[in-house]
Structure 1
């Protein structure tokens, strides 16, 4: 299913002269092929979750590249159409001259009113002009053919988009089910609903809640805590997206938060950037669904704004483990086509808030994560 999507995308990218889009498409299909092999060879629940995570990410990469390819193709088509329209008068004159020359008897074309000398001169002029006319005709023909190809590719994309959207949703559903059935993760803390409820009731700020969590000690005999400090500054963001607001930047309401806001696509998959312990999972204050991960002693990553959260308090997650899904409504195939034809870039209406706390204070996430 994704192969058909990417093959169609490669055609769009080639026609629209978007090499980077074609390369993104090829990476997506290679990623899915590797995930498919892993899924077939999965011998445990952990392996299956890892393969399904890769599958969802491959679909997301493929759909993003497909949107970009369609957008580029639409822009290229509009550019060519505009150029052709501006040349309409010149094209009409050119076609008229060629048509008249084609209808005139050959002997008449060789005669000139001023006699043999004039005929010779007109022949020389015609010999000079003809290559230019032919070159112009060739350019126009190539542009018309490219417009036809671009329109055909965009028209054929509907079925491929529908398949891609369906495949991505199936993979997300399978991943959610696999995560809910998972029983092989080690635990460092036990989930105490009463203690958590009391802690939430007495908490007025995220900072206070995080500080209280940091004071709770792991169980006796618990597995060692993960330590990702060696990866500081090198980690990828937990979700594919664009940083909208940096550390300490004010939002539209003038509120400054000690974290960053990442714009994501609807239903985007969120993963653990490194091995970490789940310290909290659920709604918190006005942040919506919140997941708090502990990748190292006295370090907490706060992820807020998820629609669905995976995992339980106390579990130790491996690097790359799925931790949740963003919210939002997925566009249907026709809406994506309409958006692309209007030249709009891929929309990212969802946002994930990421805050990093080291010790008792918030620090710039850039100290842990590499992003532009």
Structure 2
């Protein structure tokens, strides 16, 4: 066997002797082991020869002092390595145990945190639900109070006569004439003096225009037109009815509705029989001699004189069926008088300006058409 040959196992372990065994002990151990695996005694065992060879090689190694010293050093080194690995395994095992303990502690803390978090969420949800119920109860009481107030308002309105207020912009009238036939009405002031006996006029909405003939742009004005807004609807209706009547000072003057048709407020008033009473009603329906009251004659109409309400508002009770008992209909709106007043003021200003612009454009187009004709 070559000197550099080695065996894959520890020769001491293979022969079963201690590391300090003498040569005779090694030889005795070889004889006892080799007899069991000798090829001649085990002809049917194919591994017998290999095992016998390993035992022989182990004996030779241990009987050679130099090689035995090398083996002792190698075995010692292996033992040291094994001890180091054992220590490392123990340290690693301790580290793993600490890691497991830390993970268990973290999981336990997380579970406690989740439980506390869930309890906090449940408490917050309960508080929210309680707040929601309190809010619903408060809103229910407020709604009930509003219903009672509306019912009382309806009861009060049901006892009042039906009235209508209107926006003056709903019923503007157009005044049209030629200056050669009415030279006395060449100024806005003169026209206002003629129309004021019919009723108060919203002078801020007045549009007065003088225009020369189209084919003679340098000639004196020939045509005069004006858009006039009365503060009372019956006054506007009366002045339209007085168009062309010499007895009322309207000779050679054409007065019509500025929008080209009778305003809806007039139609509504006529349908409800609120356009006037007595002589005024006769004049409106065409059965009386005059359609306009005297200059200082007080109005006999049931329409209120105040124009502070700038939107067409009919008595709510008119549009609701009559109910007896506590189950009265709820109005589909709520309101605050101050907010409505502010909103109406802004809306009225915008509507008035838009109406002025539109009427001025219509007058200009109509005059252009007449001049072309």
- TM-score normalized by the length of structure 2: 0.23
* Structure (1 or 2) with the greater helix fraction: 2
Which structure is higher in strand share? 1
Larger radius of gyration: 2
Higher RCO (CA 8 Å, separation ≥ 6 residues):
1
Q: TM-score, normalized by length of structure 1?
A: 0.24
